């Protein structure tokens, strides 16, 4: 029960963050928040008061609520995890309802997994719907600064070199790449003409596959 209640709190703060994205100065009325979450206004009022007592919201009766600094950090963290989860599901690829599944996955992503996903998909700035992925909160940013991040192959710019770290592709496709010399550890160069070169040979990839292959930039390319 404690876990479920924590998820309810997360959902409220994440939804408040969505309002913040639209207008950072907006004070959200209880009825509007209740409608967005699909709950009764009385339930929303009770949760808002609880979150205000814990320092996550600033609540003014009859005027609405806004995020405090700690509430903003929490809401930003949850929204980032949700959108990272949607990117991951698209890359798998996942054939179910990605949004609903991401809503469940975000609660299972802890700091360690967020760091791992951030390192893997460091160059991805938007989710599959085109919405911006919030920047890491300060605690995650500090951890990421200790490690190099990666980016998908489609984001490799001209005259950059990357070391292949991971494939998020079906096994049969990965096997096909490996038979042609593209494996984890391979060095890929995008030349001045925008072509991808592996071991002196041009690599022809679809946009879908390029987004699912992740590389770490060489020191010279950073």
Mean pLDDT of the 122-128 span: 85
User: Can you give the pLDDT at residue 203?
Assistant: 86
pTM for the predicted model, two decimal places = 0.80
What gap in Å lies between CA 180 and CA 174, rounded to an integer?
A: 10
User: Can you give the pLDDT at residue 219?
Assistant: 58
Domains and their CATH numbers in the chain: 2-67 (1.10.10.10), 72-144 (1.10.60.10), 151-221 (2.30.30.90)
Asked if the model's pLDDT at residue 6 lies above 90, the reply is: no
What gap in Å lies between CA 19 and CA 57, rounded to an integer?
A: 13
138-176 core/surface letters (b: 16 or more CB in 10 A; e: else) = eebeebbeeeebbbbbbbbeeebbbbbbebbbeeeebee
Residue 151 is inside which H or E element, if any? strand 151-152
Residue partners of 194: CB distance under 8 A and separation at least 6: 158
User: Can you give the pLDDT at residue 17?
Assistant: 97
Higher pLDDT, 170 or 135: 135
Q: Mean pLDDT highest for which of 39-53, 113-127, 175-189?
A: 39-53
């Amino acid at each position: 029960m404690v876990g479920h209640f924590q998820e309810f709190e997360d959902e409220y703060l994440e939804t408040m963050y969505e309002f913040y994205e639209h207008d950072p100065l907006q004070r959200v009325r209880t009825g509007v928040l209740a409608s967005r979450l699909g709950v009764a206004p009385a339930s929303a009022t009770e949760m808002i008061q609880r979150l205000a007592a814990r320092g996550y919201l600033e609540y003014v009766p009859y005027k609405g609520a806004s995020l405090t600094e700690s509430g903003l950090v929490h809401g930003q963290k949850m929204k980032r995890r949700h959108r990272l989860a949607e990117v991951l599901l698209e890359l798998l690829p996942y054939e179910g309802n990605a949004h609903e599944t991401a809503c469940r996955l975000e609660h299972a992503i802890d700091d360690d997994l967020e760091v791992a996903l951030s390192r893997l998909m460091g160059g991805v700035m938007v989710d599959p719907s085109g919405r911006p992925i919030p920047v890491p909160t300060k605690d995650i940013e500090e951890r990421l600064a200790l490690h190099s991040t990666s980016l998908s192959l489609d984001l490799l710019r001209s005259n950059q070199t990357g070391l292949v770290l991971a494939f998020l592709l079906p096994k049969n496709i990965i096997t096909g790449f490996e038979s042609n010399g593209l494996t984890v550890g391979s060095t890929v160069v995008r030349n001045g003409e925008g072509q991808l070169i592996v071991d002196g040979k041009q690599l022809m990839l679809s946009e879908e596959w390029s987004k699912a292959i992740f590389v770490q930039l060489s020191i010279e390319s950073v």
